[in-house]
Amino acid sequence: MKARKTIKAKILELRKGKEELLRREYENWQRYLRGDKSARLYSATKQQADRLLKRLKGRLKANKEYPMILRRDVYRANTKLTPCWLKIPIYGVRGGINVPIRTHEPITNGMVCREAKIIRKGEEWFVHITVEKEVEERSPGSILGIDLGIRWIATTVNSNDPNPKPKFYGKELRRVKGHYFYLRRTLQRKKAYKAIKKVGYKERRVVDDLLHKISRAIVNEALETNSMIVLGNLKGIRRRNGRGRRFNRELNNGFPYYKLSRFIEYKARWLGIKVLKISERNTSKLCHKCGHKGVRVGSSFRCPNCGYQCNADYNGAMNILKRGMGYMPNPGAGLTQPRTRYDEALGVEEPRISLL
């Protein structure tokens, strides 16, 4: 299978002439996106702008600078002067300009560059290079079930363990989100709107760093145990739920579930680890021991039918793990589909949850 990821790089030591040319092309890109068709752009870059406008359907955000998208053949490696160069096409300049870059990780021979995006941050220039490579998909021997929640952004259980023990992720993330929420609220009272914007940028960087660390730890566990990752499908997670103002605030503004899922997916696929998304419906309500509807109070879950009690996030992760078991590939066969049953209490068909 093919796997993609983005490698970030910084453009180094631009001479004044090259910087003027790059700035002109970048600003013409912004003008062209805003409707100024007289802005002079290199032909291939103009085609990329038209594709971007088609995807955005004309809904451009005010006062936002959009990354300048370049064609796929702009990256050069192993030159005499520096390991990595970027060839930026410029309108009216034959051959464009060549600029040295420093990547945060090496781009190997097995990778194919798909596109590059130029980003300006203050007086500095950066480039995000999307690379692709062919990866052999691993044959999994177990399931790593992941439940996403408020108290713990991720709770994992592995079917390799006869008595699966949960791993909880997100304690530091919860502390960071709470700190910046109260900091923003204090600044709003003082009407320090510029400071709020700066705080938001810093919070995003800190949160992204924590999400990368959490996703890397989860993918490493799947790699070490030769597991297939099973994630809950997050569609509809932000609908009104009647759980209270604070819960809804944390759900809608606080925890970046989609971003964490995306980080896990691309890191796993890059290593050939299969990632499966299944319905999360009622995984937090049903007892993973007997399958009956239980009662959740805060972080605790109790089943009135069998009397089982456990952590609510652990219960959800176990239900996701069991639903994923129906998709485990058998040697010499395709993916098996889980049987379903009709539950009058649910009113819909749900995958059967087998007993341990």
Q: What would the mean pLDDT of 149-170 be, rounded to a whole number?
A: 87
In a domain, 305, yes or no: yes
Same domain? For 59 and 114 the reply is yes
Chosen domain end from 79, 109, 134: 134
Pairing of strands 75-77, 68-70: unpaired
Tens digits of residue pLDDT in 316-325: 999 999 888 8
In a domain, 96, yes or no: yes
Chosen domain end from 80, 104, 134: 134
In a domain, 12, yes or no: yes
Same domain? For 113 and 162 the reply is no
CA distance 213 to 162: 27
Same domain? For 127 and 213 the reply is no
Q: What would the mean pLDDT of 75-91 be, rounded to a whole number?
A: 77
The whole-model pTM stands at 0.78
Same domain? For 195 and 288 the reply is yes
Q: How many domains does the chain have?
A: 2
In a domain, 187, yes or no: yes
From the number of C-beta atoms within 10 Å of its C-beta (0-12, 13-18, 19+), residue 38 rates as exposed
Same domain? For 216 and 337 the reply is yes
Same domain? For 97 and 235 the reply is no
Chosen domain end from 116, 134, 152: 134
Cβ proximity of 251 and 237 under 8 Å = yes
Question: Residue 309: what residue type?
Answer: Q
Tens digits of residue pLDDT in 288-313: 888 889 898 878 899 998 888 999 99
Same domain? For 299 and 238 the reply is yes
Average pLDDT, the chain: 83
pLDDT of residue 125: 94
Same domain? For 38 and 169 the reply is no
In this predicted structure, the answer to whether residue 345 has a pLDDT above a threshold of 50 is: no
Same domain? For 315 and 177 the reply is yes
Least confident of 17-31, 73-87, 101-115, 203-217: 73-87
Same domain? For 157 and 279 the reply is yes
Same domain? For 149 and 192 the reply is yes
In a domain, 289, yes or no: yes
CA distance 110 to 323: 36
pLDDT of residue 83: 74
Token reading at 260:
């964490």
Which residue range(s) make up the domain with 179? 142-351
In a domain, 356, yes or no: no
Tens digits of residue pLDDT in 204-244: 899 999 999 999 999 999 999 999 999 987 665 555 454 55
Q: What would the mean pLDDT of 62-69 be, rounded to a whole number?
A: 91
Same domain? For 265 and 206 the reply is yes
